[in-house]
Amino acid sequence: MNKSELIEAIAKSSELTKADAERALNATLETVVKAVAKGDTVTLIGFGTFKSVKRAARTGRNPATGAALKIAASTSPKFTAGATFKTAVAGKKAKKK
User: Model confidence at 92, in pLDDT bands (50, 70, 90)?
Assistant: confident
Q: How far is CA 40 from CA 11, 32, 34, 82, in A?
A: 29, 9, 9, 18
Helix or strand run (H / E) with residue 12:
helix 3-14
pLDDT higher than 70, residue 6: yes
Which pTM does this prediction carry?
Answer: 0.78
pLDDT at residue 45 in the model: 95
Nearest C-alpha neighbor of 51 from the set 10, 86, 8, 80? 80
Question: Is the Cβ–Cβ distance between 48 and 80 less than 8 Å?
Answer: yes
Give the pLDDT confidence of 18-70 residue by residue, as tens digits: 999 999 999 999 999 999 999 999 999 999 999 999 999 999 999 999 999 99
pLDDT higher than 80, residue 97: no
Question: Is the Cβ–Cβ distance between 36 and 52 less than 8 Å?
Answer: yes
CATH 4.10.520.10 fits 3-87, yes or no: yes
